Amino acid sequence: MSNKEALRELQQRLAQRMQAAREQTQAASWLAVECAGVGLLFSLKQAAEIFTPVPLKAVPYAQPWLAGVANLRGGLFTVVDLAAFLGLRAAQRPEVAAAAAQQARFVSLNPELNINCALLVDRLMGLRSEDSLSPEPADPNAGPRPRFAGARMRDPSGRSWQQLDLEALSRHEKFLRIVV
> pLDDT by residue (tens digit) across 68-116?
999 999 999 999 999 999 999 887 755 545 545 678 999 999 999 999 9
pTM for the model stands at 0.80
> pLDDT by residue (tens digit) across 127-172?
998 888 998 887 777 667 778 888 899 999 999 999 999 999 999 9
Cβ count near 76 (within 10 Å): 10
The whole-angstrom separation of Cα 59 and Cα 99 is 20
